[in-house]
Amino acid sequence: MAEGTNLPTMRTEHITCNIDVRNLWMRFQRVIEEVMLCDSSNTNAMRDDDLERLTDNLRAFRSAANQAINGPQLDTPYVSPREYNLQHWFDDQAMLENDDLDHIRVLLVTARDDLAKSSQSNRTGNCLHVKDGRRLIRMLDRVDQHVTEVITEHNPMDYPETTPTVAMSPAGRSGI
């Protein structure tokens, strides 16, 4: 189990030299975990408070991404490059009952892993390479599009014959 949560831990690790990639990785981890543990992940209906929280998290994430893309390049020759371990906090491959949240989980995991594993930015000290930034923004656009065009337009879905499909997601973190 991941420390402080009921989700199983995944022991995969990545390394980056970029402080902005590290920051975005941590934000990805937090948003993905929030998606996986919210009340709506156990049903086919999206609760208003979970939708508001998701929207706020995505907005804050986009601001951090824009800062990494458009922010000033820092000159840190005495401390860069430095390797940062990017660790998974939990098993982010567990399927969710809520199809829409599961799709968002997959998009976020894909964007996170693309940035951490195969980006040019990964080897620089800070900021995002132009192409990496574009890919990241396109993924965030896709998530936003799914929220606005699918979740808000077609919620809740009724699947009486095929629900439930997966076990309940565990409770959230139990605190400090």
- Residues in CB range of 18: below 8 A, 6 or more apart: 84, 121, 122, 123, 124, 125, 126, 127, 128
Q: Which two tokens stand for residue 133?
A: 């930034």
Q: Is residue 165 part of a domain?
A: no
Q: Is residue 1 part of a domain?
A: no
Q: Is residue 86 part of a domain?
A: yes
Q: Is residue 102 part of a domain?
A: yes
pLDDT in tens, 26-70: 999 999 999 999 999 988 889 999 999 999 999 999 999 999 999
Q: Is residue 7 part of a domain?
A: no
- pTM of the predicted model, to two decimals? 0.83
Q: Is residue 4 part of a domain?
A: no
Q: Is residue 122 part of a domain?
A: yes
Q: Is residue 17 part of a domain?
A: yes
Which residue range(s) make up the domain with 54? 13-151
pLDDT in tens, 109-122: 999 999 988 788 98
| Domain count within the chain | 1
- CB neighbourhood size of 101 (10 A): 25
pLDDT in tens, 23-32: 999 999 999 9
